[in-house]
Each structure stands twice: as structure tokens, then as C-alpha cells.
Amino acid sequence: MISISTLSEAENISPVFLEQIFFKLRKAGIVKSARGPGGGFSFSRPLEAISVKELLYFAGEELDVLPCDRQKGDCSRVSECISHKVLTIVTGKINDYLDNITMRMLLENDEFKP
């Protein structure tokens, strides 16, 4: 278990911001919480069963590298736009990559450490 205040201090992130993220993660079943002394948050599933993509998705941080108006459906050129096609492929590859990185890998592999 780790408390919001401990994580906030260790990572220099606003506790209010962390509370919002952890509320979303708890609602999605990614983390569980306990109240009182010694309480806090912990993952509710094994670390190898949680992908980085899933964590980002439920925290509200989907990755989409398409910086155009196609999301609104306003673009009449989307079917002929080379940039749109390339960036759609890039977005898919990024999401596939993140879907294959588990929390265990992120926390234990030197490749991901600063």
C-alpha cells in the first residue's frame, strides 16, 4: 500500500491530481484502496496483468497523435489525406507497443529506468 501523500512527495505531483487519477483507476478496478492508518492504494491485479496502455486509458490519457479535425468528422479530405493515414498507423503502433508493456516490466526492467 502507498498513500497519496507519500506518492505525491516522492514524485513531486499534486496530491489533488493524484487523487483524481487514483479515483478513476479504483473505479476501473486497476487499484484498490484501504482507509485509516497504514492505508492507501495498491494494485488489485498482478502487475503482469496490467498493461501501460490500460493504465493510461483508465486514467483518461488515451494516446492519439492525430492533430487534425478528423475527430470531429468535419474533414471532407480524410479519405484522401496521406498524413491522416500515416498518423493513424503510428497511433496504432504506439498503442500496440504500450499494450505489450506490463506494469511488472515497467517497474523491474532496466530498459525503462531513468
| Stated pTM of the model | 0.76
Taking residue 69's Cβ as centre, other Cβ atoms within 10 Å add up to 10
Nearest alpha carbon to residue 95 among 55, 68, 67: 55
Residue 112 pLDDT level (bands cut at 50, 70, 90): confident
pLDDT tens-digit map of 29-43: 999 999 888 889 999
Q: Which amino acid is at 5?
A: S
Q: Are 42 and 1 in contact (CB under 8 A)?
A: yes
Residue written as grid cell 491522416: 84
Backbone angles phi, psi at 26, to 5 degrees: -70, -45
pLDDT exceeds cutoff 70 at 23: yes
Domains and CATH numbers, the chain: 1-44 (1.10.10.10), 48-114 (no CATH)
Contacts 24+ apart (CB under 8 A), 29-33: 30/54, 30/55, 30/58
Residue 71 pLDDT level (bands cut at 50, 70, 90): low
User: Chain-wide mean pLDDT for the chain?
Assistant: 87
